[in-house]
Amino acid sequence: MKKFLFFIAVAFSVMSCLDGGAFSQSYTADVTFEFSDNIYHNSFKDSLYFIPAGENGITGEGFVYGNYPLVFAQKQVGGVFQGGFVMSYLKGEKDGKLTKPAAENDKFRVHASGGAAASKTYAVFYDNPVETVMPKYHIEFGYKDVGTCTPLACYVNNTTLVARKISESFKDGDKLVLKVTGIRHDGSKAEKSITLAEFTEAKDSVMYNWSVLDLSTFGDVDYVNFDVTSTNPDVPGYFCIDGYLANIKVEY
């Protein structure tokens, strides 16, 4: 039986302007979703991380990684995960293989041997087609009132479940696409897309290597949202993400 552990969400307050003096800091956030072994003692092997609902006032609405002011949103209803981000340590098969029997956790298992750049942990995003059970914003810059955030890039990949469903259901002309949207405070948007799988007479491809998605054209944004669309309704809207990079500047 797989062991499920829970990652406590880190609450933070938006910084406000202070009387007298000034503070300015610029840095690059590198969100690898890695945990420190000396904290978890390797007990999280082959596990998933959900946000505890209802414990100590935490409602399961999201988590932050490290000290970076980026909220990775999650939605729960009645303590049950509905959509958004989950952190995963589940290992898949190398080279896009699907030789192992299908398992319940394949929806949260990367279609690769592990995280990007040999990392142990990564995140899985589920785009629930029922909008009412999805977070309004998927990544939120927590210091947007006193700073700017410029996404640079991230790694993306498929999950094992998605790869299996594609192999079973995709027909000529079917396609799976991930669209990323950066949203600014004034409502303006920037978009970028990447194809996760495509079946045509000339091309039969399913992403099974971590691939870089360049987001540097977004400029400063306050929120980032993800949409997974498939021409085949049998393929669910899961994908994996790792190594999320963003330039952050805070002034107060």
pLDDT one-digit tens code per residue, 113-128: 999 998 989 999 999 9
Which of these, 23, 41, 103, 28, lies nearest to 70 by C-alpha position? 28
What does the pLDDT look like over 3-44, one tens digit per residue?
Answer: 233 333 333 333 433 444 588 999 999 999 987 544 343 444
Position 192: which residue type?
A: K
Per-residue pLDDT band for 190 (boundaries 50, 70, 90) equals very high
What does the pLDDT look like over 223-235, one tens digit per residue?
Answer: 999 999 999 999 9
How many whole angstroms separate alpha carbon 156 and alpha carbon 240?
5
Per-residue pLDDT at 212: 97
How many whole angstroms separate alpha carbon 183 and alpha carbon 179?
13
Which of these, 80, 165, 88, lies nearest to 121 by C-alpha position? 88
Per-residue pLDDT at 15: 40
- Those residues with Cβ within 8 angstroms of residue 239's Cβ, 6 or more apart along the chain or in another chain: 124, 125, 156, 157, 158, 159, 162, 178, 196, 226, 228
Per-residue pLDDT at 82: 93
Per-residue pLDDT at 124: 96
User: Cα separations (Å) of 59 from 50, 53, 54, 76?
Assistant: 11, 5, 5, 8
Taking the CA of residue 214 as centre, how many other CA atoms within 13 Å lie in the half-sphere pointing to its CB?
2
Taking the CA of residue 69 as centre, how many other CA atoms within 13 Å lie in the half-sphere pointing to its CB?
23
How high is the mean pLDDT of the chain?
Answer: 85
Per-residue pLDDT at 79: 78
Residue 203: both structure tokens together: 């091309």
Per-residue pLDDT at 221: 98
Task: Record the pTM.
Answer: 0.86
What does the pLDDT look like over 128-161, one tens digit per residue?
Answer: 999 999 999 999 999 999 999 999 999 999 999 9
CB 85 within 8 A of CB 211: no
Per-residue pLDDT at 63: 86
Residue 64: both structure tokens together: 């932050």
